[in-house]
Amino acid sequence: MTTQSLPVKPTLVKPRLRGWKALLNHQTFRRLVQLSFAGFILFTVVRHVVIGEGSGIVTASAEAYCPFGGLESLYKYITTGGSFVPHTHLSNLVLLVAVLVTAFLARSAFCGWICPLGFIQDLISNFSALLRKRFPRLRKAMRSLNARASRLAFLDRYLRLLKYGVLLWAVIGAGVYGVMVFRDYDPWSALINIAEFSFTAGLVVLGVTLVASFFVERPWCRYACPLGAASGLLGKFSPMYLKRESDACKVCKVCTTACPMGLQVHTATTIKSADCIGCLECVGACPRPGALEVKFGIPVIGQK
């Protein structure tokens, strides 16, 4: 009896790097960028609190570095010929333009690579993952909780629409009333003004977001972030996209598990979702070379 063995395919698994070489990848680069920007914002907040408003030296508030403030002030800036809603400055408008240009060329990569609030949620989610890894009982409890919560998974797609509502409310409200109606509910504003010790709805939203980050990755970005909503919509016209090669992909779902935005990467051919934040966690996690790649193509017609 002869046995006929199947032709052996060349190895299709990425070589696993060890030691410091394992750190030389785009994810380390991304984390360093996020850390640097979060550090800059922390420095700005501390300097503003320490030096204070009454000093002769002008210290910028961290709110001056929020792109969404630019979006809220845009209507007033245009209609009044250059004035801003309170707490916003020219820097907010410039940062808004930078975010929109980035979105237009590289989707919502601002959210995945720069946004400090996204970074904080990432840190908490990673800490949660570390705890689950170290404590089997916690892992089991979380798995059980996830199994129960999976019954509510159908709500996910509807809840994701919430951020577009928040976007409309914040922009129209600022246009009509001339003040940032969203500011009192904004977790980012609550965080950078935490030294004021004022109990606002934004502080509650921040608390909910941080606690939810233990269970769901990037909950604020998925469901409520108005800047992410605006960026995602504009990103639809971006030439950048992710491509999954069906021939190379073994549908191991590692990419879907790695996606912090909960996108079903393993079932898509091209990933052009408005929710994609361009973090490339999926690309980094994919064990097969060439199965998942960043591509450049003409929007709408050239992205197949």
> What distance in Å separates the CA atoms of residue 206 and residue 208, rounded to the nearest whole number?
5
| 33 touching other proteins, by CB under 8 A | yes
Query: Using the rule CB under 8 A, which residue among 72, 85, 102, 265 binds other proteins?
Result: 102
30's torsion region: left (phi>0), alpha (psi -120 to 50) or beta?
A: alpha
Q: Which of residues 40-69 bind other proteins (CB under 8 A)?
A: 53-54, 58-61, 64-65
Q: Distance of CA 284 to CAs 55, 58, 293, Å?
A: 48, 43, 10
Q: Which of residues 77-96 bind other proteins (CB under 8 A)?
A: 84, 89-91, 94-95
Q: Which is nearer to other proteins, 205 or 279 (CB)?
A: 279
Closest CA to 103 of 115, 91, 121, 119: 115
> What distance in Å separates the CA atoms of residue 30 and residue 58, rounded to the nearest whole number?
32
Query: Using the rule CB under 8 A, which residue among 23, 25, 138, 156 binds other proteins?
Result: 25
Q: Which of residues 108-127 bind other proteins (CB under 8 A)?
A: 109-110, 113-114
Least spacing, CB of residue 120 vs other proteins, in Å: 19
Please say whether the beta carbons of 110 and 66 come within 8 A. Answer: no
Q: Which is nearer to other proteins, 59 or 126 (CB)?
A: 59
**Half-sphere exposure (Cβ direction) of 193: Cα atoms closer than 13 Å:** 20
**Chain contacts with other proteins (rule: CB under 8 A):** 25-26, 29-30, 33, 53-54, 58-61, 64-65, 84, 89-91, 94-95, 97-99, 101-102, 105-106, 109-110, 113-114, 240, 278, 280, 283-284, 293-297
